Amino acid sequence: MDGLTLVIGNKNYSSWSMRPWLALRHAGIDFDERLIPLFDADWPAAIAAVSPTRKVPVLLHGEVTVCETLAIIEYAHDLYPDAGLWPADRTARAVARSIACEMHAGFGALRNHMPVNLRRTDLKGKGRGPGVEADVARVCEIWRDCRARFGAGGDFLFGPFCAADAMFAPVVTRLDTYGVDLDDTCAAYSRAVLTLPAFQEWRDAALKETWVVAEDEID
């Protein structure tokens, strides 16, 4: 079987790249990483050569090209059904997929006003644009509900870390970067994500990057 190659963008900025990377890395699934710098002069040609959507992430597996984060995770789950990408319990798995889809499709205000930037340390108290408070409230509602119903077996939404946690990991970084106050349950969950070895590996690499894109100038 041909190996997997995950094509990603800059680790400091690319929240969508972070999600499948964390899911695969934590699950112990072997893959090669190819990083294409976002908005670099070579970006249009480089991304067009590997991704029909002209977006990252994209998973390459022999002649198979898989675009979009959730599709990548599902493809990896099909290849490695015992890797723990989704909860084993059917009800928990259904809820995990449901909230992952909600994360994929929603929270536009939070995305727009609090872009991911792991290098910035001067954004506390910023990013409070219209709709952000409602998005944060919904995120915290999801986290509290999942922790209460399914989280007894570990520190994450469904106990052990799974794809749903990978989907929410960039939100954890946003709330941390912009200094959003959290209740005890959500704060403990955030700490679990931020101290996950796979996330720390991603963050360490992000902090070493030197690329700067327009979002870095936003106050």
Question: What's the topology of domain 4-84?
Answer: Glutaredoxin (3.40.30)
pTM above 0.85, yes or no: yes
Predicted local distance difference test score (pLDDT) of residue 39: 84
Predicted local distance difference test score (pLDDT) of residue 219: 32
The residue-averaged pLDDT of 143-164 equals 98
In whole numbers, what is the pLDDT of the chain averaged over residues? Answer: 95
The residue-averaged pLDDT of 17-21 equals 98
Q: Where in the chain is the domain with CATH 3.40.30.10?
A: 4-84
Predicted local distance difference test score (pLDDT) of residue 2: 78
Question: What's the topology of domain 90-202?
Answer: Glutathione S-transferase Yfyf (Class Pi); Chain A, domain 2 (1.20.1050)
Task: Reduce the DSSP state of residue 19 to 3 states and report it.
Answer: helix
Predicted local distance difference test score (pLDDT) of residue 122: 96
Residue 200 near residue 1, CB atoms below 8 Å = no
Q: How confident is the model at residue 215 (pLDDT cuts 50, 70, 90)?
A: low
Residue 8 near residue 14, CB atoms below 8 Å = yes
Q: Could you report the per-residue pLDDT of 61-92, keeping only the tens digit for each?
A: 999 999 999 999 999 999 999 999 999 999 99
Q: Could you report the per-residue pLDDT of 178-196, keeping only the tens digit for each?
A: 999 999 999 999 999 999 9
Q: Give backbone dihedrals phi and psi of 58, rounded to 5 degrees, phi first.
A: -145, 140
Q: How confident is the model at residue 197 (pLDDT cuts 50, 70, 90)?
A: very high
Predicted local distance difference test score (pLDDT) of residue 107: 98
Nearest to 175, CA basis, from 218, 209, 217, 143: 143
DSSP tally for the chain: helices H, then strands E: 9, 4
Looking at the predicted structure, is the pLDDT value of residue 137 above 70?
Answer: yes
Q: Could you report the per-residue pLDDT of 104-134, keeping only the tens digit for each?
A: 999 999 999 999 999 999 999 999 999 999 9
- With tokens 């959500």, the residue in question is 186
Looking at the predicted structure, is the pLDDT value of residue 20 above 80?
Answer: yes
**Residue 90 falls in which region: left (phi positive, over 0), alpha (psi -120 to 50) or beta:** alpha
